[in-house]
Chain A
Amino acid sequence: DGGITQSPKYLFRKEGQNVTLSCEQNLNHDAMYWYRQDPGQGLRLIYYSQIVNDFQKGDIAEGYSVSREKKESFPLTVTSAQKNPTAFYLCASRVQGLRGYTFGSGTRLTVV
């Protein structure tokens, strides 16, 4: 079945370390997105990509980086510059048109 796979589901990081969250989709969707969610809050956009080798900053891109070398993959790196990285991270994709977005099951990142 087609879908979006995020890994790992839980991730622990020491302060000062970079960490990369994986997002893979086999839906042949063009656009992919990364969102951050804090407890009791809505989703905030970090980065998005419409096509391979192109991406744009969202509302809270500082301290994060992404790459889009393949259509299927859109990894997110949380760098040591991100001051408060503990959060729930969601990856999504969609195809142009009227269909809704498909979300992954999320990665919960905790800085220890």
Chain B
Amino acid sequence: NAGVTQTPKFQVLKTGQSMTLQCAQDMNHNSMYWYRQDPGMGLRLIYYSASEGTTDKGEVPNGYNVSRLNKREFSLRLESAAPSQTSVYFCASNWGGAGTEAFFGQGTRLTVV
């Protein structure tokens, strides 16, 4: 079982460049999430999608856009990358509703120089 798959696993961008992080899940989950992890900060929610066709802002949405392409896929786009967006990005999914286990991808380490 693949679970949650993120691509790429590593990326280096120059300031001002754009890129899209891809995420796909094969568990038929309703909800999908994007988090960023920074040293000493834990995981902070960027955007989430409770169902296909809906997206909502999380704690730190500035500088990001998302697309819930279909039930399986949820992408995160950086339009103009900044050094402050250097981080490890995690995609996660679950059935939705409080209390359900979230399943995570293996993360994307992004460095913006």
Whether A and B are associated in the same complex: the answer reads: no
Chain A residues with a Cβ under 8 A of chain B: none
